[in-house]
Amino acid sequence: LIHDDLPAMDDDDFRRGKPSCHKAFDEATAILVGDGLQALAIELLLDKLPLTMSAQKTVVITKELVSANGFMGMISGQSLDLSELKNPNLSLDMLSFIHNLKTGKLIVACFNMAILASSDVGHIESEALKKFAYEIGLVFQMQDDYLDHYAPQSVLGKGASSDLLNEKVTFASLFSKDTLAEKINALYRDAIENLKPFGEQANDLIALTETLRLRSNGISE
């Protein structure tokens, strides 16, 4: 996110209501802190991995996190974001594909790591969790685009949307306001549906989903 806000990328002056890192400090600091946090995330994971695991599991779990951040994940997503989102004929499939690379893969990786670490998640449960993670990632971006287009600036805690200023294709430019709100609500319902088989065990994930859905009060039922 710190690199995403840089002038060479999205050029965003605010993040969550505060000056973005390169504004609060400078560009060099923002580049270095982004680099350092990437390493720190992996260090934290390595510190938390139970050493009772097999070496193979240790490697596979760490690769989940590292790959989601790498050329096969976030990096390609951000690169396509910069090169393709200004194409006014971009398809819905391509837009979803780019956002899945950019943020979806990392969200799915969080679930994959937990599934790999656990010894008692069956195939059906694991597929349901991954589908939940994919859908949460996608709907999060759809709602982000909705809020960027329709929520007042005071609610967003940042300046005018850089996507709007840069004339990027977003879910809000592909659909009308009402259609997008419907799709968002439907996707949230679908996501929650995946959690049904887990009963009360999924309460935390349901609560998280509700927190996401209600953020910024931007989406009406």
Instruction: Specify the residue, 65 or 180, whose C-beta has the smaller distance to a copy of itself.
Output: 65
Candidates 6, 117, 121, 164: give the one binding a copy of itself (CB under 8 A). Answer: 6
Q: State in angstroms the smallest separation of the CB of 29 from a copy of itself.
A: 7
Best CA proximity match to 182, nearest among 190, 101, 97, 15: 190
SS (H, E, C) 100-158: HHHHHHHHHHHHHHHHHHCCCCCHHHHHHHHHHHHHHHHHHHHHHHHHHHHCCHHHHCC
Instruction: Specify the residue, 8 or 155, whose C-beta has the smaller distance to a copy of itself.
Output: 8
Residues 8-67 that bind a copy of itself (CB under 8 A): 8-9, 26-29, 31-36, 38-40, 42-43, 46, 49, 51-59, 62-63, 66-67
Report which secondary-structure segment, H or E, holds 15: strand 14-15
Q: State in angstroms the smallest separation of the CB of 84 from a copy of itself.
A: 13
Q: State in angstroms the smallest separation of the CB of 59 from a copy of itself.
A: 5
Instruction: Specify the residue, 65 or 138, whose C-beta has the smaller distance to a copy of itself.
Output: 65
DSSP output for 156-198: HTSSS-HHHHTT---HHHHS-HHHHHHHHHHHHHHHHHTTGGG
Q: State in angstroms the smallest separation of the CB of 1 from a copy of itself.
A: 12
Strand partners, 19: 14
Q: State in angstroms the smallest separation of the CB of 104 from a copy of itself.
A: 17
- The answer to whether residue 117 forms part of the interface with a copy of itself (CB under 8 A) is no
Report which secondary-structure segment, H or E, holds 19: strand 18-19
Which residues, other chains included, contact 175 with Cβ-Cβ below 8 Å and sequence gap of 6+?
183
Candidates 15, 19, 23, 69: give the one binding a copy of itself (CB under 8 A). Answer: 69
| Total residues at interface with a copy of itself (CB under 8 A) | 42
Residue for token pair 């969790």:
129
Give the interface with a copy of itself as residue ranges (CB under 8 A): 3, 6, 8-9, 26-29, 31-36, 38-40, 42-43, 46, 49, 51-59, 62-63, 66-67, 69-71, 74-75, 78-79, 82
